[in-house]
Chains A and B, each alone.
Chain A
Amino acid sequence: MANPTAKPSLTQLDGPSLFAMFRAAMAVLESKAEAVNALNVYPVPDGDTGTNMLLTMRSALEEADKYATGTATEVLAAMAKGSLMGARGNSGVILSQILRGLNKSAQGKPHLTGRDFADGLEQGSKQAYTVVTNPTEGTILTVAREAAAAAKAASTDGGAPAAVLQAATSTAKTTVARTPFMLEILRQNGVVDAGGQGLAYLFEGALAYLQGKAPMETAPKAAKSAAIGAGDSRQKAAGSYGYCTEFLVENCKAATEQVQEKMLALGDSVIVVGDGGLVKVHLHTRTPDQAEAWLKSVATIAKKKIDDIDAQHTEYSARKVAAPQGVVGVVAVVAGEGLADIFRSLGAAAIVPGGQTMNPSTQDILKAVRGAKQTAVIVLPNNSNIIPTARQAAEMAVDKDVAIVPTVDLPQGVAAMMAYSYEADAKENLAAMQKALKAVKTGEVTTAVRNAIVDGLAVKRGQAIGMTGGRLVAATSDAGEAAIALARGMGVEADSAVTVYYGAAVSRADAEELAARLKREFRQAKIEAIAGGQPHYQYLLSVE
């Protein structure tokens, strides 16, 4: 194990210094891995370039750990081998090629001069171009090449390793900044190239070490690899991204060109690299099993990793539209799948199913409150009968800071949700949500369960009745009629927004017909019909 505080030689790098330098490089990449991941645009918009490069470096350092006190040759040979074994993703493979180049230039040398280092970078960057099927400028390849050229120039008159790395680092940084000018997809996405950025961070970390500024970070951790058991058959249809497939094969009888050709026939993003029978294969394919079967016929498979890109993509898409996690979590009691979706889409952290005639227990609400990631939680009972239960749950949740916005119906709950801000704290949210309740009026259409005379209207059992503000305003044979009468009684104005949530028992066609009638009657108002899916109430009307 190298002494982390060992002062690197000014003119030459020995094995321990190299090892410590690479660890410092990895530490910087590690601290920036998430930021690098965020830069990725292809094929999964929210990619994993930073993670891939980091795991590649870890694998290299794990291997080199045994030679940490050895010669430069030993350290770099181990780094090259470890990175080839552990390379993940395109950028990881390219990174492993750069380490391989360094290894070649270190052959038989106990120390590396600045010149050796520059030569190694140059070899590595050249090598990197050959392993990618379609070398593209504006990527990590360009960054590696230009950094190597700068390093070379700085080394010609006997530049020390630190001076050579200084040149490589500053060029890497400016090249990264230029990548959006070279690659349209980067420009469109407003990002720099992720792999190039990752490489620049590695240079930065290495340079900081050589300048005596690098703090030593954690020891290399074991790389995680999601291995998939043999025998699972996978096949994907056209139009899908397929599987990101990687194999490490040993005793390969086929030439790398032959492997490359075969893999190209099966997929794209093909990278085939290898030495002395040890070959690393990366491709995106819809038929990974075919690739595996063929490789088995020419070599022994030592390691494989098959990731479903579509699953990653779907997960990404789902995450993208999911509401951000707020400072305050909202727990809403909601009846009806449609309405539950609406609350979720507006940012509710949890839904407790329940409402009229099916009040949730204190325990149900408490469980949701406790399950929220946030300490501060606001509960929307959305029914007057549920408010006491919610209050009780709030008192019992001693480890949380719970407040209730006493919404008595679902439209009030939606209005409160509209006012919810994920950035605001509990106090601000409470004030905004309470205020929002005043701006909404609710009407309900349900079926009379018995004969009665209410508010001067005779109601027969089975009739559709419309109520608002505790007042019966309509009793008729048809739910749509009752809704129209209700809307008239609720005072829809020119600038009102009227939302009709139609219940589980109402067809979409009926709801749309009602919306059309409301539009004819209240021409200036905004009318929207939404599937609420609630039981008991054919229609819930919200007038804002």
Chain B
Amino acid sequence: MALKIVTDSTCDLPKSLIAELGVTVLPCNLHIGDKTLLDGIDITSEEFYKRLAQGGPAPSTSQPSVGAFLDVYNKIGRPGDEILSLHISAKLSGTYNSAFQAAKEAQTKAKIAVVDGMTVSLVLGILVREAAKIAKQGGTLKQATDFLAREIPNIACYCSVDTLEYLVRGGRASRVQGFFGSLLDIKPIISVRDGEVHPVDRVRTRKRMLARLVEMAGEAKGLRALGVMHSACADEAAALADELGRHFPRKEVLICEFTPVMGAHLGPKAIGMGMWKGEAA
């Protein structure tokens, strides 16, 4: 009898941590030309961003299939087990729907809860990690879902893209396009709030954008963890992480590169900052 955690590749947790936590990660699909690649498995972030820089067909993405979820649920769910399937915001991806559908059809006797993480990337990753900790300590599905219900409102995710082009092409920019469709060259800062992309701020230079991300972290009430995400701009991400570390010396700052499926929607030189706020319960 155990609580098992399933997530998807948009959680952006490093492979080593995933192995350590015993989390099952379903890869999303990346479509380049007529080829379908499994996110993070058939293609690494490094290869992907190199390819993106070289041009060629625009990549698109799709959620793991219902069948892929069925396989995982049926495989890992033993009688008496519980499965927490925690995923990228259902408003941004069909992953949650696939999981939800599969959970209904699964043959396993295990109890499955599919939860909309309402966020993306490392911020989802932080939730997955915390849920996995609950599982490691012998916690129940109920404890994990209670934890998520309490903490999902405490997460925040900001990101600046170098160009809106990728978000627009991927159909994720409808809310922000009007705000950022400027005649001036601006650096848009967006946030994922209530599971959706919202416009936050527009600044003129990358330096100002990075400073603004630090300011936003400073405005947060209570910080438990910080995350820095980037697409092919490791130096800037490291500098941002250092800066955050200086401002919040006792806080954990995680850093990662956006997985290709995220990169396909953000484009190169996107930089993100995620927060887990609030006080520990």
- Interface residues of chain A, those whose CB is within 8 Å of chain B, are 177-178, 180-181, 187-190, 320-324, 338, 341-342, 345-347, 414, 418, 421-423, 495, 497, 499, 526, 528, 530, 544
Contact = CB atoms under 8 A, between A and B. Distances in A.
B154 interface: no
A320 B178 contact: yes
A187 B181 contact: no
A201 B28 CA distance: 31
A528 B184 contact: yes
A177 B182 contact: no
Given A180-B94, A190-B94, A190-B171, A342 B184 contact: yes
A189 B62 CA distance: 11
A522 B181 CA distance: 27
B178 A495 contact: no
Interface in B178-232: 178-179, 181-186, 198-205, 207-208
Contacts of A323: 178-179, 181
Given A323-B181, A421-B200, 8 more contacts: A181-B98, A187-B94, A190-B172, A321-B181, A345-B184, A414-B184, A526-B185, A528-B184
13 contacts: A178-B101, A181-B98, A181-B101, A190-B93, A320-B178, A323-B181, A414-B184, A418-B186, A418-B202, A497-B205, A499-B184, A528-B184, A530-B183
Nearest to B100: A177
Contacts of B97: 177, 180
Contact of B204 (A180, A324, A341, A526): A526
B177 A320 contact: yes
A321 B200 CA distance: 17
Contacts of B186: 418
Nearest to B65: A181
Contacts of A190: 92-94, 171-172
Contacts of A181: 65-66, 98, 101
A422 B199 CA distance: 9
Nearest to A189: B171
B60 interface: yes
A528 B182 CA distance: 13
A324 B184 CA distance: 17
Contacts of B178: 320-324, 347
B174 interface: yes
A418 B62 CA distance: 35
Contact of B183 (A178, A345, A421, A497): A345
Given A187-B94, A188-B171, A342 B182 contact: yes
Contact of A187 (B62, B184, B201): B62
Contacts of A421: 199-201
Contacts of B205: 495, 497, 526, 544
Contact of A320 (B172, B174, B198, B199): B174
Given A181-B66, A189-B171, A320-B174, A544 B204 contact: yes
Interface string B40-55: 0000000000000000
A347 B179 contact: yes
Contacts of B92: 190
Contact of A346 (B62, B65, B182): B182
A544 B94 CA distance: 42
B94 A188 contact: no
A292 B198 CA distance: 47
A181 B102 CA distance: 12
B37 to A, nearest CB: 17
Contacts of B183: 338, 341-342, 345, 530
A190 B265 CA distance: 13
A501 to B, nearest CB: 10
B172 to A, nearest CB: 8
Nearest to A439: B208
Contacts of A180: 94, 97
Contact of B203 (A324, A414, A418, A528): A418
B101 A497 contact: no
A316 B47 CA distance: 37
B91 to A, nearest CB: 8
A53 to B, nearest CB: 23
A429 to B, nearest CB: 12
B179 A495 contact: no
Contacts of A530: 183-184
Contacts of A422: 179, 199
B202 A188 contact: no
A528 B204 CA distance: 10
Across the A-B interface, the 9 shortest Cβ-Cβ residue pairs: A497-B204, A323-B178, A495-B207, A321-B181, A324-B178, A345-B182, A345-B183, A342-B183, A497-B205
B176 to A, nearest CB: 9
A246 to B, nearest CB: 29
B57 to A, nearest CB: 14
A382 to B, nearest CB: 16
A346 B179 CA distance: 7
Given A177-B97, A418-B203, A497-B205, A321 B177 contact: yes
